[in-house]
Structure 1
């Protein structure tokens, strides 16, 4: 499999997650855990009021962050679902605001098109160029496409619902590859469904809006997630740059060539 190919191709593997070194046991390559650089960069605690002031938002009121992905292909399959989910959340929470950080003009245009197509142009929604971490820090709850963004949301200690949609063909292939029952990084690290996941046909606006709405109304769950995400943050905060350098230097010395 992939682990075997990697082991044959490299001198050493630097693992971002604590469960990864065990994957290389029995292979002729050294693997060491160095932590994740995001955990070093993102502070252990963020200030909600400061984050909202930075985005010119009022300190009070309910705010949702919507992170539909960074690639055009992701927006193709998920933008409409995110827009319709926001509409349902707005019906349940009329005073709520929505933040949607997008990384390019193309993805912004795609999302704007879906807003108009679904008659949602009057939603109290702000599109941002980048600033994903700022949007999440200012939010009470987050709807996020599966990927590294889910880890950022966890490190920012925010309740989230994870979702993903892809082509039917890709979905069939993924289901037959025998992955773990969860795909979101926070759930993989927790080895359980710490936060809800809705994939493919289950990723309906109704399911997503109900799950996220319930999360922001349940203080007990919010406290539990904050505690769990803090433990994850401390586990991943390993001064990754220093650890990586310390692991790489001996390998370089073993393979350096003397100057002529």
Structure 2
């Protein structure tokens, strides 16, 4: 702020931030995710809003995997779309997605499917094979996938860097939008900053929608986010370890 970085910024984020997110995601998922596909947003929630605005029109059909943080499924309704729900079930004491039932609901008239994994509120986490099945089905019918992956780093296995992600299986031409946030793994809730990974063909439309939603992100926030994502792995590891310990206490304390 003292350097005078308090004016309008670029709609999709400064190049240094988009490059930092690109480098981070490419290393995390073992494949190149170009900065041209990154759109920095004024929060994860802003990313969800813009993702819906990019894809949906009034009357469109959306399928959401539930239970779900209410904000995610309310946005399509605000835009005049209709939302059908496919719920997780409990099998052998674990939350489970019946992939066959989901694919049955993803009919050719479906515009978008919303999947939040790791899931708020259940903690359910999708697996790679399910991602592959869902993507193959959505490619066949031209269905968009909105993947809310804000909790991807909060996996308990220390040998796993992140939860399974649609970004690992993305192919050119896929109709996939991934939304993420600095609020979770980096605890930057009040800074109000997140990002989307979008097909590069949507970048121009995303630029317009950012302009009409929040215009740009305060630049000191972008500097802080860049610092966090480039140098914050020790903090992420510490948070994961802390959550693992509290989870262990809860599980062991709940056993008869």
TM-score (structure 1 length as normaliser):
0.30
Higher relative contact order (CA 8 A, sep 6+): 2
* Structure whose CA Rg is larger: 1
More helix by share: 1
TM-score (structure 2 length as normaliser):
0.31
